[in-house]
Structure 1
Amino acid sequence: MPHKTAFITGITGQDGSYLAELLLSKGYEVHGLVRRASTFNTHRIDHIYVDAHEPEARFFLHYGDLADSEMISHVLYNIKPDEIYHLGAQSHVRVSFDTPEYTGNVTAIGTTRILEAIRRSNQKIHFYQASSSEMFGHTRPPQNEDSCFWPRSPYACAKVYAYWMTRNYRDGYNMYTCNGILFNHESPRRGETFVTRKITRGIAAILAGKEKYLYLGNLEAKRDWGYSPEYVECMWQILQQDKPDDYVIGTGETHTVQDFVDASFAYAGLDPEKHVKIDQRYFRPTEVEELLADPSRAEKRLGWKAKIKFPELVKIMVDSDMSASGLKPIGEGYKILDTKFPNRWWSRD
């Protein structure tokens, strides 16, 4: 019998898929929330598939939406999770400027719906809220747990709301609720509209002769980029502590988008000046110039420290997208810590 049950929102995303693998490897029964759509959007977790009627099934998907309070309460009542990892959101910063109301409803109020469902259930559930470095926005780096928030997008504003609701439920109702303030973290499973995947997919398309140019926005923005599988390990560690708290998670290094472009193109043997063009459509109305994590609390209390740094991350992502495009990878980077999980433990209700 599995020793714990976990519920993951955003399970079909980058972090959700890696977290599901991690928890299954630790013996958990894992339940995930999936939005019903006209097309399947489970490609990141399809490799975990097994028939629901198999006796070893420990992976279950539930259709629902973060805008539906009744559904959330229903799922929690039925599965009675020990831990909830709330990763679901409208998570694209640039898109949040186009859909601010929807972003607030799902990313901000969606968190409150889960917290309230936990409170009313009277269950001793450990709750993890996926906060974001975007909350710091214009705050001078490095940023840690005591830095002030200065959000610069509807997405960041929604995440600040969710952060403070998580803290208020902890303080007001003595609930085990934690915020993980994760700085940018990437992988071959990163969404294709995010800048790092745009770059590495663009390189593969150029090498395959499918595209000639890559169109990007602000190349001067500085970010602290880490590797997603390491960050989900930290999420799990946060919920294993005796007392709930909030943690900044990052590498402690910052690089510009231009750095990512230069490193990726150099690794692939291409000249970015011949292929990269700037498109004003990809600029945000309000930019975040520099994000740099000070992860000392996580290093001290959790013993967590990022191992995959910027050069390795670039190689992993370039090699993976080249392999996905039918090209021979340059090195072995695409194999690092990104192995497929055994095909088991899947169900969909």
Structure 2
Amino acid sequence: MPRAFVTGITGQDGGYLAEQLLAEGVEVHGMVRAGDDDAVGALLGRSPDVVLHEGDLGDAERLGALIAQLKPDEIYNLAGISSVAYSWKEPVLTAQLSGVAAAVVLGAAWRLQEDTGHRVACLQPSSAEIFGDAERSPQDESTPVRPMSPYGAAKAYAHHMSGVYRGRGLHVATCIFFNHESPRRPLAFVTRKITAAAARIGADGSGVIRLGNLDAARDWGWAPDYVDAMVRAVRHPQPDDYVIASGRTHTVADFAEAALRRAGVGDSWREHVEVDPAFLRPADASTPVGDASKAREVLGWEPTVRFEELVGRMVDHDMELLRRSGR
């Protein structure tokens, strides 16, 4: 039975990945932080067969020892700081957990491969944030890397280190992910903030959603589709870089409108949206839109859920949570 090791297994992507791998008969091991009881409980409720190990991305010795001990066939390094806004508050921590920790994982995987003589296939998730103020649109694998945020800079380092270790003979695939969402997004993310608020407004008939730049546009996709791309990329005979995106952009205002309409607000949706300067970013990338032609041609990957349905599924989930709570 193949064995996979997943960091960030309690996150949105990690949970969906665990479910997919278990369904394929893979033995799944995940690293979790001590005290993260709620997230662990939710994960085990959905995937009870996952084997969990305590560890921390900031503990290089423990992280490397886990990989040496488990001897996984596949490694998915999904953990790290995942918020651009938070990275502005904690740029050094972001560099350590989203950048340097990737080098620790790749180095441990390379040593394991050297020691055992067996291939260790790694997936390092990259981000559209590495492109920053992109000189062309849409962005593809050849777009120059020039990040504009601490998060983007950390992910750029991890992306480049993937190429370095690929050059040393390690099977490292990267997926350059554009935004991807699901009902499992934490409320700290603007997309889930919108859908949760829309559900409450739909139930109460009143309230507002306070947001930053309503004109900010993103290329949004469905998270389980993007997890499927990870698995395809890591198992392809030749490791490479792949842009994973829907190829379509929508603004934050579009997201709010779709969510409020799904919640039953109708044409009055704009009355429930306000701009709050506190949520404006210090700098924002140019409009990110990805060209996933390479993933389509090489991996046979296609997105399956369009924007309106993605937003609708998230709103339906949050409305169901409200019904269950009796609110």
Tell me which of 160, 165, 168 is aligned to 2:164. 168
What is the DSSP-based 3-state SS (H/G/I as helix, E as strand, rest coil) of the residue aligned with 2:40?
coil
Q: How far 1:150 sits from its partner (Å)?
A: 2.2
Tell me which of 38, 41, 45 is aligned to 1:40. 38
Given the alignment of the two structures, is residue 69 of structure 1 paired with residue 60 of structure 2, yes or no?
A: yes
Normalising to structure 1: TM-score of the pair? Answer: 0.88
Contact 2:199–2:260 at 8 Å: present in 1 too?
A: no
Q: How far 1:49 sits from its partner (Å)?
A: 5.3
1:34-62 Cα shifts (integer Å, max 9, x gaps): 01126532254132354xxxxxxx42011
Q: How far 1:182 sits from its partner (Å)?
A: 0.8
Contact 2:174–2:242 at 8 Å: present in 1 too?
A: yes
1:146-179 Cα shifts (integer Å, max 9, x gaps): 01122111000000000000100111x1110111
After TM superposition, which residue ranges in structure 1, 4 or more long, deviate above 3 angstroms? 208-211
Q: How far 1:208 sits from its partner (Å)?
A: 3.5
CA distance, structure 2, for counterparts of residue 289 and residue 209 of structure 1: 36
Given the alignment of the two structures, is residue 151 of structure 1 paired with residue 144 of structure 2, yes or no?
A: no
Q: Name the counterpart of 1:17.
A: 15
What is the DSSP-based 3-state SS (H/G/I as helix, E as strand, rest coil) of the residue aligned with 2:31?
strand
CA distance, structure 1, for counterparts of residue 96 and residue 244 of structure 2: 26
Q: In terms of mean alpha carbon deviation, does 280-289 or 298-307 score higher? A: 280-289
Q: Name the counterpart of 2:321.
A: 324
Tell me which of 245, 248, 251 is aligned to 1:250. 245
Residue identity in the other structure for 1:147? T
The answer to which structure, 1 or 2, has the higher relative contact order (CA under 8 A, 6+ apart) is 1
Q: Name the counterpart of 1:8.
A: 6
Structure 2 CA distance for partners of 1:155 and 1:25, relative to 1, 3 Å: same
Q: Tell me which protein shows more helix as a share of its residues.
A: 2
Q: In terms of mean alpha carbon deviation, does 34-43 or 219-228 score higher? A: 34-43
Q: Name the counterpart of 1:55.
A: none
Q: How far 1:187 sits from its partner (Å)?
A: 0.5
Tell me which of 254, 262, 279 is aligned to 1:282. 279
Residue identity in the other structure for 1:67? G
Q: Name the counterpart of 1:142.
A: 138
Q: Name the counterpart of 2:193.
A: 198
Residue identity in the other structure for 1:41? A
1:45-90 Cα shifts (integer Å, max 9, x gaps): 132354xxxxxxx420111011111111221122110000011011
| Structure 1: gaps spanning 5 or more residues | 51-57, 329-349
Q: How far 1:327 sits from its partner (Å)?
A: 7.1
Structure 2 CA distance for partners of 1:38 and 1:4, relative to 1, 3 Å: closer
Q: What pairs up with 1:250-269 in 2 under 5 angstroms?
A: 250-269=245-264
Contact 1:221–1:288 at 8 Å: present in 2 too?
A: no
Given the alignment of the two structures, is residue 208 of structure 1 paired with residue 196 of structure 2, yes or no?
A: no
CA distance, structure 1, for counterparts of residue 198 and residue 41 of structure 2: 22
Contact 2:106–2:165 at 8 Å: present in 1 too?
A: yes
CA distance, structure 2, for counterparts of residue 191 and residue 135 of structure 1: 22
What is the DSSP-based 3-state SS (H/G/I as helix, E as strand, rest coil) of the residue aligned with 1:33?
strand
Structure 2 CA distance for partners of 1:159 and 1:92, relative to 1, 3 Å: same
Structure 2 CA distance for partners of 1:38 and 1:193, relative to 1, 3 Å: closer
Q: Name the counterpart of 2:293.
A: 296
Q: Name the counterpart of 1:78.
A: 69
What is the DSSP-based 3-state SS (H/G/I as helix, E as strand, rest coil) of the residue aligned with 1:42?
helix
Residue identity in the other structure for 2:317? S
What is the DSSP-based 3-state SS (H/G/I as helix, E as strand, rest coil) of the residue aligned with 1:119?
helix
CA distance, structure 2, for counterparts of residue 38 and residue 129 of structure 1: 23
Given the alignment of the two structures, is residue 106 of structure 1 paired with residue 97 of structure 2, yes or no?
A: yes
CA distance, structure 1, for counterparts of residue 173 and residue 244 of structure 2: 13
What is the DSSP-based 3-state SS (H/G/I as helix, E as strand, rest coil) of the residue aligned with 1:208?
helix
CA distance, structure 2, for counterparts of residue 229 and residue 43 of structure 1: 20
Q: Name the counterpart of 1:224.
A: 219
Normalising to structure 2: TM-score of the pair? Answer: 0.93
Contact 2:219–2:247 at 8 Å: present in 1 too?
A: yes
Contact 1:17–1:44 at 8 Å: present in 2 too?
A: no
CA distance, structure 2, for counterparts of residue 305 and residue 231 of structure 1: 9
CA distance, structure 2, for counterparts of residue 149 and residue 210 of structure 1: 45
What is the DSSP-based 3-state SS (H/G/I as helix, E as strand, rest coil) of the residue aligned with 2:52?
strand
CA distance, structure 2, for counterparts of residue 133 and residue 38 of structure 1: 28
Q: Alpha carbon RMSD of aligned pairs, Å?
A: 1.7
Aligned-residue sequence identity (percent) comes to 42
| Structure 2: gaps spanning 5 or more residues | none
